[in-house]
Amino acid sequence: MKIAVLGTGFGAYHVELYKKIGLVKEIVVWGRNTEKLEELKEKFGVSTTTKCEDILKDKSICLVDICMPNALHKEMALKAMAAGKDVFLEMPLAETEEDGRQIIEAAKKSGRRVFVDLFLRHEFAYEYLAAAVQKEHFGKCRELHVKRQTPPWWGNLDVSRIGLNLMHHDIDFVSQLFGKGKAVHVSGRNVRENQSVVTAVFDYADKNATVYASSAMPDTSPFSVGYEAVFENGFVRYYEDRYADGRLDTKLEVFTANKQEEVALQIADCYEAVCRDVLESVAEKKPSVLDGEHALMTLEMICEMNRKLEGK
């Protein structure tokens, strides 16, 4: 299999993972920074180019991994699919619903596939809850609360940006478990410049799912994620706190009428799992949980949430 990676920022990490997985025969990396391209060439033995046309014209390339700014996702995805290649995009699928729909429609018309880095779908704690919900291990899930809190480490995450750039994975997790829902109720505000808090409640026929995000945590606080799920016959709780100095505090627990149990967390690189999923899906033409249509549903939920925040 021969693939291409567009971008030398996070794209460099993708290259490292592809080499580690070992399912790729040849990798071509496109970028504008010739020094970074040379570093990747020396370190991983990849081919490099500063001309995107070289990749589009190469009929032996079957997959294009797009690690570029969000605003360029649609343009590059459409060009790659028109050239007969499958596409793997970093989240989000696109910046707007219209752009997202154009990408998915182009995939349907061209017969190509679009994958999106929905990496929580390969995180053990979230896989555990997904299985509990789908298989009703503790009866039906009646209430879900998902959170994500961060110090100001990631640039501007004000009310207009926090949905797409911080809440995206958690809202995608909700859409994976329950679908789009009937309605969304939102409250949010800017706490200080570039920092905000938002709470979104997604309504379903027999349950609610709340997604809470804050980009206004102090510098001394951890980057924190987690969830609490209320079932008919149990309660599941997970948290992970990562501090700037490298400390990690995490736990997954299950509570039922008969016992309290701590579930051993399986530590694995979810990004590696994502890249493996994409490569195997392309090579073996099998389904993937990273399918672009799932990502479009999530994008639609985020855009609806943002409209509510804007009072539209």
pLDDT tens-digit readout, 49-102: 999 999 999 999 999 999 999 999 999 999 999 999 999 999 999 999 999 999
Partnered with residue 185 across adjacent β-strands are: 201
Q: Using H for helix, E for strand and C for coil, what is the string for 38-70?
A: HHHHHHHCCEEECCHHHHHHCCCEEEEEECCCH
Q: Which domain holds residue 57?
A: 2-116
pLDDT in tens, 268-289: 899 999 999 999 999 999 999 9
Domain end, chosen from 116, 136, 155, is at 116
pLDDT in tens, 147-201: 999 999 999 999 999 999 999 999 999 999 999 999 999 999 999 999 999 999 9
Asked if 133 contacts 177 with a C-beta cutoff of 8 angstroms, the reply is yes
3-state secondary structure of 300: helix
Q: How many domains does the chain have?
A: 2
Helix-then-strand count for the chain, H and E: 10, 14
Flag whether pLDDT at 225 surpasses 70: yes
Domain end, chosen from 116, 146, 176, is at 116
CATH number reported for the structural domain that contains residue 221 in this entry: 3.30.360.10
3-state secondary structure of 43: helix
Average pLDDT, integer, range 45-51: 97
Residue 280 lies in a domain: no
Residue 286 lies in a domain: no
Residue 19 lies in a domain: yes
Residue 279 lies in a domain: no
Residues 128, 91: one domain?
no
Residue 145 lies in a domain: yes
CATH number reported for the structural domain that contains residue 88 in this entry: 3.40.50.720
Tell me how far CA of residue 140 lies from CA of 15, 136, 143, 144, 175, in angstroms: 41, 6, 9, 11, 16
Going by the DSSP 8-state scheme, the letter that residue 122 receives in this structure is G
Domain end, chosen from 68, 100, 116, is at 116
- Take residue 298 and report the two structure tokens written for it: 């999530």
pLDDT in tens, 30-42: 999 999 999 999 9
Asked if 302 contacts 308 with a C-beta cutoff of 8 angstroms, the reply is no
Which pLDDT band, with edges at 50, 70 and 90, does 312 fall under?
low
Within 10 angstroms of residue 308's Cβ, the number of other Cβ atoms is 16
Q: What is the pLDDT of residue 311?
A: 85
Task: Match 């990408």 to its residue by tokens.
Answer: 103
